[in-house]
Amino acid sequence: MAVPLPWGTALNPEGDWGVAIGNGAKALAAGARALGANSTAKGVNSTAIGWDSKSEADRGIAIGETASVEDGTENGIAIGTGAKASGKGSTGTPSLPASTVAIGQGAQALENGDVVIGRQAKSIASTEHGNPGSGAVVAGAEAAAYGARGDVVIGASAETNVKVKQSGGTVDAKYAQGVAIGSTAKTYGTQSLALGADTRAIGNSSVAIGGDDIDMARTELEAAVPQLKAGNGIKKSFNKEIEDKFTGGLGSASINVKGKYANTAAIGDATTAIGTLSEAFGTGSTAIGINSLTKGTASTGIGIMARSWGTNSLALGTQVGAYGDRSSSIGDTNQVGLDMKDGSKSGKESAAVGSNNTIYGNQAYAVGAGNTIGSATVVTTTEANGSAAGADQDKITTVTAGTVKGNMAGAFGYKNIINADNAYARQQLHGFRRRCHGAGEQCFRDGKERDGSRQ
């Protein structure tokens, strides 16, 4: 029988060997313990401590004002004002108790095996928790797991599978196993990883590792790479393009709260972004390095301010750009191709290796330093960076279609200039740069200057 203690008030002590202390306290099962006004311990060997606390499941523990362990949540633990542990356990072989844990003011662990720790931290109810390893782990104030199973969230305001939240919170089995670690780190797509403060893994199966500022290293980095500051407009216009393509807040998700620069963000499906301020936009693209950006499908950008715009393009080095499809830019400050005003790109299947080489044409190659292949009519326009009020005006450079020269050309050496199609130049004589203008011109051969007759 229940034992009413002489110094407390035990009302309705109906459970065998239960203990109820407090006005309206109820111990309704064997071994149940209810302590506090209106507290209720309903499950076998359950514990409810605190005003209006409730432990309705066997071996459940609810501690704190209005803390609750719901019916069926065996071995559940809820600690903190308004904390809630829920879940019905699995019925497979072997059957598993819910064993849900919620610790913190307003914390909610709503499914089998979930462990939620932190103020207002939460997981969501799901029918996909029947197998071992399906529970979510959430730690941090206002952190949240929205995936159907297996999410890991660590950090204040970190979140996984945010697309579920944006769709109204309806659980979707395909959104699962997201990992977000870091203050406000967030994954939007399924099977994605965001590691680092303010990182964003927006695409499905995407990976974002890094941060959103270089303040402690800014002086030294900008001294070595001045364009890291001066070239910020390129990054901002890139953000605008993301906003335009991804509606419903996904585009804005990759831009930080100031609306002026981007978090590290893996935006497209199957993308990887590693490094402070890096962004991978194109499907299957990889951006590695400070302020590295990749836009083309299956493109790769590695290095400080590497830009890989074309499909299957490669930019490897510092301030290198590969804008044409299947183009390569390797070294320092090389540029292969440009965006066209009609949306196409120049520099298709072109490559530059070395430093400070520029290629405008298609199927052109430059090896060395300071070589220029081709020419084009360049147009500079000004656009607002994003939709926020007071957004900066950024300069965007494009090329007029039909004006590109220097196709199927090649330059090898130092400061050669080619302004014609089907021409090439080798090395430099007597410290002077060589210019090639005629179609089919061969400027040098075996170290001797040629007249362009291709003899």
Instruction: Flag whether pLDDT at 439 surpasses 60.
Output: no
pTM of the model: 0.79
Tokens representing residue 136 in the block: 């979510």
Q: Where does residue 427 fall: left (phi above 0), alpha (psi -120 to 50 degrees), or beta otherwise? A: left
Instruction: Flag whether pLDDT at 256 surpasses 60.
Output: no
In this predicted model, what pLDDT tens digit does every residue of 338-393 receive, in sequence order?
876 556 778 999 999 999 999 988 999 999 999 998 877 666 554 444 444 444 44
Q: What is the CA radius of gyration of the chain?
A: 31
Instruction: Flag whether pLDDT at 418 surpasses 60.
Output: yes
Tokens representing residue 403 in the block: 């004006």
Residues in the chain: 455
Higher pLDDT, 354 or 217: 354
In this predicted model, what pLDDT tens digit does every residue of 112-145 receive, in sequence order?
889 999 999 999 887 665 666 678 999 999 999 9
What is the four-CA torsion angle of 373, 376, 382, 388, rounded to 10 degrees?
A: -60
Name the band, by pLDDT with cuts 50, 70 and 90, for residue 214: low
Confidence at residue 112, expressed as pLDDT on a 0 to 100 scale: 84
Name the band, by pLDDT with cuts 50, 70 and 90, for residue 105: very high
Confidence at residue 316, expressed as pLDDT on a 0 to 100 scale: 98
Higher pLDDT, 341 or 293: 293
Instruction: Flag whether pLDDT at 8 surpasses 90.
Output: no
Residue with tokens 């720790």: 117
In this predicted model, what pLDDT tens digit does every residue of 26-50 receive, in sequence order?
999 999 999 999 999 999 999 999 9
Q: 146-177 as b/e, with b when 16 or more CB fall inside 10 Å?
A: bbbbbbbbbbbbbbbbbbbbeeeeebbeebbb
Confidence at residue 393, expressed as pLDDT on a 0 to 100 scale: 41
Query: Do 287 and 273 form a contact (C-beta atoms < 8 A)?
Result: yes
Higher pLDDT, 101 or 387: 101
Q: Where does residue 232 fall: left (phi above 0), alpha (psi -120 to 50 degrees), or beta otherwise? A: alpha
Residue whose C-alpha is closest to residue 117's, from 99, 143, 135, 149: 143
Report the percentage of the chain scoring pLDDT > 70.
Answer: 67
In this predicted model, what pLDDT tens digit does every residue of 304-327 receive, in sequence order?
989 999 999 999 999 999 999 999
Instruction: Find the mean pLDDT for residues 8-24.
Output: 67
Instruction: Find the mean pLDDT for residues 168-177.
Output: 76
**Mean pLDDT for the chain?**
78
